[in-house]
Amino acid sequence: MNPQNVTADILLQLPSWLKRFMAEEQTPLHTAEERMQLAIRLAQLNIEHRTGGPFGAAVFNMETGELVSAGVNLVIPSNCSMAHAEMIAISSAQQKLENFDLGAAGLPHLELVSSTEPCAMCVGALPWSGIRHLVCGARHEDARAIGFDEGPKHPRWVEELKHRGISVDSDICRSGAIEVLQYYSKHEGFIYNARQG
């Protein structure tokens, strides 16, 4: 432990390649499949740049198809177990829009697209984020198949989110999302669950 870090501010540093990705002009993506392909590409780039785990996520404006923010898993480089791709994408959108509530009046309806369905922590965070819609690629069991622990999710989590006004689309480009998980398993293989729970 670095004693100077004891009172450090909490700062999540985005990889430079991700900043470049966001700075490049991204044309609106009008279908769920196109948006999922972007999230899967983020997961693949995160592996290739060795900046974290095989998960990508993005927030889109549902009305225009424009990309609002992008996130990747940054648990290892940021020493932060909360730095899942979904949390990074949502936090970035909240900073960009200067609002902790992505469902606030005056904002467009926003959706979160995640290359793998969210874990217990991220599912729990969604109702507080203000997000209106969730799009998932690979399933919980696809992540578990390569060793990741998705945590104790409510068995009817999709229905629970719907009760909170968040609709869910599952299995969008699932096979492509699984390919990235398996690529990581073959080429990196480091599974960073702190504990099994």
| Catalytic residue annotation | 86
| Minimum CB distance to Zn ion, residue 82 (Å) | 8
- For Zn ion, the closer of residues 80 and 121 by Cβ is 121
Nearer residue to Zn ion within complex by CB, 106 or 155: 155
Contact residues: Zn ion, CB under 5 A? 84, 119, 121-122
Chain Cα centroid distance, residue 149: 15
Q: What number of other Cβ atoms are within 10 A of residue 86's Cβ?
A: 31
One-letter identity of residue 52: G
Instruction: Mention every residue, 6+ apart, whose C-beta is less than 8 A from residue 89.
Output: 57, 58, 59, 69, 70, 71, 112, 114
CB of 172 to Zn ion, least distance (A): 18
Residue appearing with tokens 């904002």: 107
For Zn ion, the closer CB: 103 or 124:
124
Q: How far apart are CA 43 and CA 17, in angstroms?
A: 12
- In angstroms, give the least distance from the CB of 23 to Zn ion: 26
In the structure encoding, which two tokens stand for residue 74, read together? 């940054």
| Cα(173)–Cα(37) distance, integer angstroms | 7
